[in-house]
Structure 1
Amino acid sequence: MELIPNDYIEFLYWLKTETESFWSKKPKDSANEYICNEWMYDAKWIGMTENEIETVQDKYSIVFTPEHKDFLRILHTIDRKTRRPSQVGEYVERPFFLNWLTDDLEIKNKINFPYNTIIKEAMTFGYWLENSWGPKPETLDERERQFNERYKTAPELVPIRGHRFQVADMSLEKRPILSVLGFDIVLYGVDFRDFLLHELADELDIYHIEYDEDGEPYWNVNEGYERYFNVFDKEKIKSVPFWRDFIR
């Protein structure tokens, strides 16, 4: 018997049930070793309707992949923002996952974020992928022209949360999720299921405390779950135009 469903739709509902169950345990009262943050207590997912998804696609001139649509319909985001302490001692609120119905400014910023941050590093700091793109042009104008020509070949990136984006190329069998911050681009999942499992691993009650040889405690995944958290296979993204050149 599979601990985590293989079927994608079943997996999304499993993820919904498991995360909401984990968040339903009040941190101060829970006897569990592994607990959620106080601000996350009793959080609930808020899915989107088909009409809402279509409206969002029209509004932002984007196209969600089928697996992204399924995620939005069943999960989408939670009923609150994340809370993180700031340097001045107060809390900063950020979207858990993008709320496509309310986070308008954040969404508009993220849609243009990959291009804006990559072109900035190419023009300002001279970053250039010479192994893939050839010698770096000497003039800024020519560098910008060549970069823009290459970027036209890049499959669209659709934002998910933070710096995470899906390669929304319908011709690909596997549409990976990337973390994009300028030229610093990291594979975060070979597909949406892989990404969600790793991204939400800390929101699942699947950890226990173990101790190293020095007696220091650390969290380890429960028996049977290890095989679901394999190292990402970068070979699977060799067919992804443009973006594959950044992955090391």
Structure 2
Amino acid sequence: MKLHIPEDYTEFLYWIKETTEAFWSKNPETSEDDFVCEDWAYGAKWLGMTEEEIDQTEKEFNLKFTQEHRQFLKILHAIDKKEVYTYEDDETGEVTSQESSFFYNWITDKEEIKDTMYWPYKTMLSDVKGTNRVWLKSWGNIRPKSDETKEKIFSEWFEKIPKLIPVYAHRFIVSNHNNTQNPVLSIRGSDTIVYGWNMRHYLLRELEEHLNLFDDVYDKEDEEWYPERKPEVQKIHDVEFGTAKTKSIPVIEEMILYWSSGWSSFGKENPNKVEGSLQPITKTFVAQDEDGEHNDQQKQFNSF
């Protein structure tokens, strides 16, 4: 059956609400469906905000939601369940669980959101001063030795970035009111990519498992069934990333394009001449240090 994804943004948000809540309403322990929700999501409901709550949040956090983000907050916002992550220690085998918000709740998660708003600055700066030795071309061809100088130059640059507003985990919407569309970024330090070119595009990526946007496809060679995005969904992704060559994001775009991982965000081919699907994340600009050395190693991932 052909999948109908509403083009009208408000209709789309209500479609998200209806589809996800129907998926979460089925008990994963008793459902006979092939694809069920995780235990933590069973029975979950979205918690929309009122206009008054949104207005009060803007004042409290000293920010301004875009119209697209504001509509998302009114209809969806957050759910009444915490997402549960389970970890197993490789050495001891001990299993631990951790809860986190599945989309930030601006009414109950205030302290967490305040900490998260500092995340882009903190983690990017750690890549500038630390192992990854990040240095953007607009900062000059010579990378200074002094951490104080690096931080000063970085801070002056960061101040020019449009407001980055937390949405979920390390995803942030670029709240630039001069743009007709506001992209959502996935930020892990300097390794920053466009996760969606607007909220509709982003939500289809973030919620694809909860929306069951896959078809099972049988691979004869492997003799295995694999999930594959439904054609209607893949077409939307292809259009958004395919037209990204004509799009721009003020200031932070330079950081997105600093590592090769961000190139596909803008419809660019990976610059690495390496065969195979695993591409090392490498710098696309290498500054010279004050002592004359260069450092063009691939990205080192940090725990932050």
TM-score, normalised with respect to structure 2: 0.76
Residue matched to 1:227: 235
Matched, 1:214 2:222: yes
Counterpart Cα distance in 2 of 1:235 and 1:54: 35
**Is the Cα–Cα contact under 8 Å of residues 3 and 232 in structure 2 kept in the other structure?**
no
The range that moved more, 3-12 or 29-38, is 29-38
Identity between Structure 1 and Structure 2 (%):
37
**Is the Cα–Cα contact under 8 Å of residues 214 and 230 in structure 2 kept in the other structure?**
yes
Amino acid at match of 1:146: I
How much has 1:2 moved relative to structure 2?
Answer: 7.4
**Is the Cα–Cα contact under 8 Å of residues 164 and 179 in structure 1 kept in the other structure?**
yes
Residue matched to 1:16: 17
SS at match of 1:179: strand
Identify which of 115, 119, 122 aligns with 2:128: 122
C-alpha distance 86-9 of structure 1, shift in aligned 2 (>3 A):
same
SS at match of 1:45: coil
SS at match of 1:90: strand
Structure 2 unpaired stretches of 5+: 89-93, 257-261, 263-304
**Is the Cα–Cα contact under 8 Å of residues 136 and 254 in structure 2 kept in the other structure?**
no
C-alpha distance 122-205 of structure 1, shift in aligned 2 (>3 A):
closer
How much has 1:209 moved relative to structure 2?
Answer: 2.3
Taking only aligned residues, the RMSD between alpha carbons, in angstroms, comes to: 1.9
Residue matched to 1:168: 175
Amino acid at match of 2:237: F
Counterpart Cα distance in 2 of 1:3 and 1:48: 27
Counterpart Cα distance in 2 of 1:222 and 1:181: 29
SS at match of 2:22: helix
Residue matched to 1:134: 140
Higher alpha-carbon Rg: 2
**Is the Cα–Cα contact under 8 Å of residues 83 and 93 in structure 1 kept in the other structure?**
yes
What pairs with 1:1-248 in structure 2 (closer than 5 Å)?
A: 3-87=4-88, 88-125=94-131, 127-135=133-141, 136-212=143-219, 213-222=221-230, 224-230=232-238, 232-233=241-242, 234-238=244-248, 240-247=249-256, 248=262
Structure 1 unpaired stretches of 5+: none
How much has 1:80 moved relative to structure 2?
Answer: 0.9
SS at match of 2:209: helix
Amino acid at match of 1:77: A
How much has 1:165 moved relative to structure 2?
Answer: 0.2
